[in-house]
Structure 1
Amino acid sequence: MKLKTLLMGAIATGAMAPMVMADGHEGERGRDGDVKIIYWQAPSILNPFLSGGTKDVESASLVVEPLARYTETGEMVPWLAAEVPTVENGGVASDLTSITWKIAPGIQWSDGTAFTANDVKFTADYCMHPEGGCAQGAKFDGVQTVEVIDDLTVKVTFDAPKPNPYGPFVGGESPIIQAAQFADCMGAKAPECTEQNFNPIGTGPFVVTDFRPNDVITFAANDNFRHAGKPAFASVTFKGGGDAVAAGRSVLETGEFDYAWNLQLAPDVIAKMEEAGKGVAIAGFGPLVERLEMNLTNPSPDLPPETRSTVAEPHPILSDERVRRALSMAIDRELLTEVGYGKAGAPTCDLVPAPAIYASGNTDCLTQDIEGAKALLEEAGWTDTNGDGVRDKDGMKLSLLYQTSTNAVRQDFQALIKDWWSQIGVETELRNLDASVFFGGDPGSPDTFQKFYADVEMYANTFNGTDPQAYLAAYRCGNEPKPASQWQGENINRFCDPAYDALIDELARTGELDKRSEIAKKMNDMITSETMTIVPLVNRARVSAHANSLGGIKLNVWDSELWNIADWYRKGE
């Protein structure tokens, strides 16, 4: 098996040396005072392994870090590692069954203790624990063992050749947590460790000084951070909550904050805010897709949680592919894009629209077809027997609960989609939930997107890096959130197809880039255009904003948006 262009495409030319962050503004650590960040989706936990929410992963990235990560151009660079392992440098076995990471010497945790290979192994054991629920479990797909060779060397062995061995410990979604701190938090105990999950010890540029879930986090510069003179800021005030409009105004109009994340606003609204002259909006396209998830299980509150989380009890309406397809056909994606995102969006039929080599480029869904949708529902046996405008079948009304997070653009989408669905005879109840709760990882909450106690839900997510292998592997049978996994898991709609699982395994052992592309496209099509289990709507650009006085910003659509916060600084007058 040949590695060919996969490894070379994933790693930057000349990126084998340890990552050196530099912005030309050297000086004393903490010299620029406080920097104020606002995420209108408030973080609820600082442990990325217990939440799939971007808000939680990115706020945690100020503290906990991976061995390697991706730059703003999608190139992989060493972070806590001394180099990125490859076949050429001996770090990846010639038969592709293992990868050996060498940790850069001298790295300390923020408590002053040494960062070692034991912490790396512990992180794998923590996420792979059979009684636990790891939100990033797909990163460890195919991992057989993780072995400590010495204090600065750790070897990951796979159960088969792995042409893309950069799942574990790479990117903001797969950082290293401290073994000493989390030793008593394994398995089912993981969500009970409030102190550890709210105040993780890390190697990053900042340490947590106070965390109020769904509200405010304060950070202070890490005195043991490995880069002299960094971070430039002595502290971070990380405000959560509110809405995208208020977040945008706080940077672009009032100057109250320095950085606002995820300005999910109509383009004319952002342009108007920029006229105040306090800051600038920045945008970048990656694989971020706003989509509808179709629930394949019965979410009825009359059923026990175990039943509501598996396909043991199929959805009484949406288990019919024709219904899912009709719902998709009724949607005008061009109009959604125009209303919600303008040039910061593109209508899409693909779950993986980027990088281009992995994009199927499906276009069938881009043409709205109300009459075709009606005909498909008729074929499926759904008719309006009493003339009330809502179809029914066997005494059941074609009525759906459609949920998403509270956000002006998403509520506009809900209203439009409800109207289109009403035109084909579908009754739709809309629900919107506070984003901090919806995207949180609280196993006790009934309102998280993981529990999916609705028929249809809408959100967007993406993946770290430029290879979608782990992202697509999320839909493996058994990877659904459920009580036994503390309601963690990435297979949100409980999709299960042995043929799809076989493609996951085939992708994992395929090295040639063209063949990987072909397999990934097949997987994309299976869960989108062929089954309409996932109904893509818009490929969204990441849009954020920063104050004119804030320097060092490099918007990154391939990793944590705050990936280089150690390089941020305050510009002089």
Structure 2
Amino acid sequence: MNEHKLQKLIDDVKDGGLSRRSFMRKVVAAGIAAPIASQMLVWNGVAMAQASLPYKPTKAGGGGPLKLLLWQAPTLLNPHFASGTKDQIASRIFFEPLAGWDKEGNLTPQLAAEVPTRANGGLSADGKEVIWKLKPGVKWHDGKPLTADDVVFTWEYAADPATAAYTTGAYTDIKVEKIDDLTVKVIFKQPTPFWADAFVGVTGQILPKHHFGEYKGAKSREAPANLKPVGTGPYKFVDFKPGDILTGERFADYHVKNQPHFDTLEVKGGGDAVSAARAVLQTAEFDYAWNLQVEDEVLKRMETGGRGKVSTVVSGDIEFIILNTTDPWTEVDGERSSVKTKHPTLTDPKVREAINLLIDRESVQKFIYGRGGIATASFVNEPKQFKSQKLKYEFNIDKANKILDDAGYKRGSDGIREKDGKKLKYVFQTSINAPRQKTQAIIKQACQKAGIDLELKSVTASVFFSSDVANPDTYTKLYVDMEMYTTTQPQPDPERFLNQFASWEVATKENKWLGRNVSRYSDPAADEAYKAAQKELDPAKRAALLIKVNEIFCEANVILPLLSRTRVAAAVNNLAHDHSGWDVDTWNLAAWYRT
């Protein structure tokens, strides 16, 4: 669809001559994904839907207990330190952003009175300013009012390098000004096509200045509210045992009428995905279970019991492998996998190319994940206009063997290839989870046939995804040769998702391993394309730049995508819940109710 026709359709919606539904049908038919079509309307001054779950209760409370099961247990409750999704989910119960993302990719106001648009004066024509108006009457759980001072403080807190926030990438290149008690202005250094990052979704949760003001910067980890939050969310904090159980109670002064429905909240952590699925689908001991990374055939059998149902939504999440090009076994200045080191063999592009050919993605999809994932060679898969059409995957053991032969890697007496005394022998880690262990086994078997030996390591999920800087087994440390996990795309635009390929986001001891570039790999061409995309207002040119960033890392075979993940959860039959693939599961928890 050319630019002229697209703009005419947008103008027709603004003039009332074309419904939003008809607009969405036309642009999706032309190859533009629904979430981006929604954003186009927002960017052009057309407000979108306010919520994706019709809410039927006529009063707050009365719903009894709500019991959630996160088999990867939360370990902290500060959203700006939450590098693991389970910590982000738990934090979002208590803290809220100015806006979140519904399952259709629509930007939905939460602490904001409205979504900024050109029509309401919220977006400047030059793409350099956004004005957010706060919802009046919002209170913190301690009764104090939410004001613009809290929003400005959240920016200062996250942007301060000494805070070492996981969300810092959303705040370092902006300036935030208070206009009045309920209005702030976000100022960008350059035209910014994707402005809905700071204060939005996973990265956008607002902190109370009166609880965190003394803990900005170097003292950030000492704040009591990191584990005992005071937020604006639908439930007030009661108790938290990290790695085990979190409890809350209904916030009587919540800012949405007749919400929340449930009187108490329990979030139980630990166990495994299979037992979590069983606890909802078969026994209904819990109301909702998150991230059911369970073989699809197992889920189908559980669903036959009739107590609950599987819920799936499209997302941009990706299951992938990182090949470490730094040395995880040599310590430099107190850290392993330092950017000051090079891996003995994985720095060789031929070795990485061979390993990529030894991954049977189609078997992993067919026999393990089913509804839970689609085989892919691209790190970005949704929305479709951001997916590379060039990247292809292939499973070919013979081809891998020839590449290694030609590169001079000879088999030793033990069958393991080596060159210059360096063996192709690697530690391959992931979290403890049946589909991941089965995927590891499939890859190990193929690698053996090519003379590559893999030692499989499995780490308890609550440890692997922990934000604990003292733990050597967290995925951000990458203290192994290769590792596998899923990373979540936090919004229907991949710009922030792809900053984990930026050189300035490398995870290091200095930033407490909260930098988003876990691979430690960088490429000047990728940095250049990423920075250009950040200020490119033409949608097609910007998409091409982001695709280039994706292709550079995938073609280098440092990042080996496996599956485009569908988000899979389970809910009991009488639970109305709002499951979005573009935000965390608890993004609209206040609107959940029992039918």
- The 2-side partners of 1:176 and 1:312 are apart by 36
Q: Does 1:69 align with 2:100?
A: yes
Q: Does 1:293 align with 2:322?
A: yes
- The 2-side partners of 1:11 and 1:235 are apart by 39
- The 1-side partners of 2:121 and 2:504 are apart by 35
- Which of 569, 579, 587 is the matching residue for 1:544? 569
How many percent identity over aligned positions? Answer: 37
For residues 466-481 of structure 1, what are the structure 2 equivalents within 5 Å? 466-481=492-507
| Structure with greater contact order relative to length (CA < 8 Å, sep ≥ 6) | 1
Write out per-residue CA displacement over residues 285-308 of structure 1, whole angstroms, 9 at most, x where no aligned residue: 2111110011121111544434x3
The 1:321/1:132 distance shift into structure 2, 3 A limit, reads farther
Tell me the equivalent position of 1:169. Answer: 199
- The 1-side partners of 2:46 and 2:470 are apart by 44
Tell me the equivalent position of 1:283. Answer: 312
Tell me the equivalent position of 2:586. Answer: 562
Distance apart, 1:38 and its partner CA: 0.3
AA aligned opposite 2:261 = A
Tell me the equivalent position of 1:421. Answer: 447
The 1:549/1:351 distance shift into structure 2, 3 A limit, reads same
- Which of 540, 546, 551 is the matching residue for 1:525? 551
TM normalised by structure 1 equals: 0.94
TM normalised by structure 2 equals: 0.91
The answer to whether the Cα contact below 8 Å between 1:12 and 1:77 also exists between their aligned partners in 2 is no
- The 2-side partners of 1:429 and 1:208 are apart by 42
For residues 265-414 of structure 1, what are the structure 2 equivalents within 5 Å? 265-306=294-335, 308-362=336-390, 364-365=392-393, 367-384=394-411, 386-414=412-440
Secondary structure of 1:364 counterpart: coil
Tell me the equivalent position of 1:199. Answer: 228
Tell me the equivalent position of 2:457. Answer: 431
Tell me the equivalent position of 2:30. Answer: none
Tell me the equivalent position of 2:16. Answer: none
- The 2-side partners of 1:454 and 1:188 are apart by 29
Q: Does 1:513 align with 2:539?
A: yes
- The 2-side partners of 1:565 and 1:118 are apart by 26
Tell me the equivalent position of 1:137. Answer: 168
Where does the alignment leave 5 or more consecutive residues of structure 2 unmatched?
Answer: 11-34
Tell me the equivalent position of 1:159. Answer: 189
Distance apart, 1:214 and its partner CA: 0.8
Moved more, 84-93 or 68-77: 84-93
- The 2-side partners of 1:396 and 1:7 are apart by 48
Tell me the equivalent position of 1:43. Answer: 74
AA aligned opposite 1:165 = W
Moved more, 117-126 or 86-95: 86-95
Secondary structure of 2:490 counterpart: coil
AA aligned opposite 1:400 = Y
The 1:440/1:454 distance shift into structure 2, 3 A limit, reads same
Moved more, 199-208 or 372-381: 372-381
For residues 438-457 of structure 1, what are the structure 2 equivalents within 5 Å? 438-457=464-483
The answer to whether the Cα contact below 8 Å between 1:19 and 1:79 also exists between their aligned partners in 2 is no
How many residues in Structure 1 have an aligned counterpart in Structure 2? 564
Where does the alignment leave 5 or more consecutive residues of structure 1 unmatched?
Answer: none
Distance apart, 1:86 and its partner CA: 2.5
AA aligned opposite 1:427 = D
Distance apart, 1:563 and its partner CA: 1.8
The answer to whether the Cα contact below 8 Å between 1:331 and 1:368 also exists between their aligned partners in 2 is yes
Tell me the equivalent position of 1:231. Answer: 260
The answer to whether the Cα contact below 8 Å between 2:427 and 2:456 also exists between their aligned partners in 1 is yes
AA aligned opposite 1:155 = K
- Which of 515, 518, 521 is the matching residue for 1:492? 518
- The 2-side partners of 1:512 and 1:315 are apart by 40
- The 2-side partners of 1:17 and 1:388 are apart by 63
Secondary structure of 1:172 counterpart: helix
Write out per-residue CA displacement over residues 421-477 of structure 1, whole angstroms, 9 at most, x where no aligned residue: 111111111111111111110011111111111110100012222110111123221
- The 2-side partners of 1:491 and 1:484 are apart by 13
- The 2-side partners of 1:239 and 1:11 are apart by 39
